[in-house]
Each structure stands twice: as C-alpha cells, then as structure tokens.
Amino acid sequence: MGFPSYNIESIFTIQSLSLILKILILCFLLIGVLSLILEKNSYIIFPLLASAWEVTLGAMTIFNSLSGGFSLSSLTGGLTVTVLGFIACLSLLLLNRHNPRAEASLYYKLFGSESAEYAVELVDLVKKYFIGEIVVPAINGVNLKVKRGEFISIMGPSGCGKSTLLNLIGALDRPTSGKVLIDGVDISTLNPKSLARLRNEKIGFVFQAYNLINRSTVYRNIELPMLVRGVSKNERRRRVMELLEIVGLSDKMYRRPRMLSGGEQQRVAIARAIVNNPSIILADEPTGNLDSKAGRNIIQFMKRLNREFGTTIIIVTHDREVAEMTDRIVYLKDGRIVGEKINEGNVEK
C-alpha cells in the first residue's frame, strides 16, 4: 500500500499557497515603502492590508497554541508576528498623516483629525528681514486660527506686514521663529517636494503684484498650474474656458498680460489661483485695481467658492466694504494683531 496521492498534493498546495501569500505580503510591503517615498497616499492600503494580515496570522497562531497542545515557541512566534504587524500598521498610518494632502490620507479618513478644524494655524509667528545691519521686524508674534471653510479679511495700514503674513502662510517665505500649520501639518517639517505640491495643489495665491508671465498669453497663464500638476489637455482646456467666462475675459485669452488693464490682470491672477481647486485661497488685495462693481463681483465669486466648496479664503484688503462681506476681519498693526471683528450676518450657522 502506498501513500494516498491526495495527501502529497494537498501538502504541496498548502506549501505553495503559503509561499504565494508570503510573496504577496512582501510585495504589499514594498508597495507601502514606495508609496511613502513617492507620497502616493492611495497605495498605503496595500501595506496596511499586509500588516493586518500579519496581525491575524499571529493571533491565529496564539489561539492554536493555547487551544491545542501548548507550545512556547509557537506562542512567542505568534506574539512577535502580532506585535510587529500592529507596529507596522500604526507607523504606516502615522507616516501617512504627515503630508500636504493630509485630509485625503487614510489616517484622516479613519480617525479624522483634532487639528482638521483649522485650515491655517499660526503659532507665535515672527518674521524679521535683515538689510545689512538693519533689522526690520515685519511680523511680531502673531497667533491666529482660521477654521476650515472660513472667509476672513486682514486689514491694516501700509507696511504693517499683511503681505509678509500671507507669504508665510503660503509657504513662500520662512518665518524667523514660530510655526505655520496647514491642516494641522507644520509646514517646516515638509520636504521641498511636498512643499512644492502644497503650493501647487492646496493653496491658490493671488499676488499683490499679480506675478503673471508676460511672455505667455492669458490662456497659458491660467493653464500653467494645471500643467505642473499633469492634468490632461482636454480637462485643462475645459477648465481654462470655464474660468475665463467667470472672470469675464473670454475675448482676451490670446493677449499677453501687459496688454491688459490692471483690473484685467488682477482677474487673470485670480483665475490662475483657483484653477486647481485649492482648498485655501490667499489673496493680496484681489480687488485693489478694480472698480467697486467689478471688485464686488470678484468677492461674490469668492464667497460662492467658499460656500459651495468649503474653500478657506484669506484676503488682504484696504476696502472696508469688501472686508464687511467676509466672516471675520482681523486688524494688523506693526506686525501684531490688534483686534478682530466677526461679521455675524455673514457667518453661516
């Protein structure tokens, strides 16, 4: 009598199955390491599954060793696998938390965030400029919290530090001391690549001096942030045409910015700032060169973005009428916040 052949086959099947599983777990973990290096949040699910599987395997081994014949080696083996799997799960989630698109990460989807309430948080912010021996204290200890979906305005006399403050929030400049947190992430901890992505995808900046590219057409200027992000040609065209319509410049899309009026250039700058659907818009005097009707239209449009998409907006303005249209006015003087006013009528309950 020989061995029944099915036994050998089943042993072979189990062995190859477990080998396949091990290879799969290894691949998943490798994808995890790659996803962390490349900062691709969506792939984090693979190593998480692998770690969760490790935990399950470990738990099963512990259960077997306790319920069947007790074996110290399989008990310690099971415990080790469980603990390692658990640590892997936890560290993956925590690492996943620190990136500029934190709110899109699995960590926030699973646990939410204590700091997610604030889109922008400034802690003891100080900025000094050094011109040779002279020190210019532009921002002198600002603490400010801006809720997600809030629309605030900053007012103050010329030279009080408004543009400097926006530049610090938008990661265009580094503070001398203190912290800037965007969606709970301290931006000083981000590497250059994450910072660049934060500026391109999460923040839309409207500069006081527009900063348009004069060699390129209006169309190209608005399209540029999407090119950087790698959006398809058709989608880029659709979006640029939509925004040109909104800012009322469809008939001037092939002009160069210098052939436009100040107000028109300002509208191009606004279209460019919002083309990537940023979650935060920082605008330095977005209505400074517009007549009051055009100015009001732009602010109305921003309000719509704010209400419909929950976009957080911070604008600097000298125009009281514009400021009154926002949820809150923050007053700045000599680089310090000296007061604020909440416009109850505008704040949604």
What are the residues binding ligand ATP (CB under 6 A)? 129, 131, 136, 138, 156, 158-164, 208
Q: Which stretch in 26-34, 63-71, 157-165, 234-242 sits in contact with Mg ion by CB under 5 A?
A: 157-165
CB of 304 to ligand ATP, least distance (A): 26
Q: Reduced to 3 states, what is the DSSP secondary structure of residue 330?
A: strand
CB of 310 to ligand ATP, least distance (A): 27
Any idea of the CA torsion for 55, 58, 59, 62, to the nearest 10 degrees?
A: -160
CA distance 107 to 44: 10
Indicate which of ligand ATP, Mg ion, none lies near residue 136 (CB less than 5 to 8 Å, by partner kind): ligand ATP
* 99 touching Mg ion, by CB under 5 A: no
Phi/psi at 290 (5° precision): -110, 150
Q: Quick one: 163 or 194, whose CB is closer to Mg ion?
A: 163
CA distance 83 to 59: 10
With beta carbons less than 8 A apart as the criterion, state whether 190 and 181 touch. Answer: no
Q: Quick one: 247 or 315, whose CB is closer to Mg ion?
A: 315
**Contact residues for 347 (Cβ-Cβ < 8 A; gap 6+):** 327, 328
Q: Interaction with Mg ion in 159-178: which residues (CB under 5 A)?
A: 163
Q: Residue 123's closest CA among 330, 337, 285? A: 337
Q: Quick one: 115 or 208, whose CB is closer to Mg ion?
A: 208
DSSP secondary structure string for all residues of 217-271: -HHHHHHHHHHHHT--HHHHHHHHHHHHHHHT-GGGTTS-GGGS-HHHHHHHHHH
CB of 162 to Mg ion, least distance (A): 5
Q: Quick one: 15 or 211, whose CB is closer to ligand ATP?
A: 211
Token pair recorded at residue 166: 């926006």
Token pair recorded at residue 200: 């391109």
Token pair recorded at residue 154: 């900053």
CB of 163 to Mg ion, least distance (A): 3
CB of 157 to ligand ATP, least distance (A): 7
Taking only Cα atoms into account, the Rg of the chain, rounded to an integer number of angstroms, comes to 27
Indicate which of ligand ATP, Mg ion, none lies near residue 131 (CB less than 5 to 8 Å, by partner kind): ligand ATP
Q: Which stretch in 65-73, 200-208, 299-307, 332-340 sits in contact with Mg ion by CB under 5 A?
A: 200-208
Q: Quick one: 166 or 244, whose CB is closer to Mg ion?
A: 166
Indicate which of ligand ATP, Mg ion, none lies near residue 283 (CB less than 5 to 8 Å, by partner kind): none
CB of 139 to ligand ATP, least distance (A): 8
CB of 166 to ligand ATP, least distance (A): 8
Q: Residue 226's closest CA among 282, 271, 281, 275? A: 275
Q: Quick one: 65 or 163, whose CB is closer to Mg ion?
A: 163
Q: Quick one: 105 or 163, whose CB is closer to ligand ATP?
A: 163
Q: List interacting residues with Mg ion (CB under 5 A).
A: 163, 208
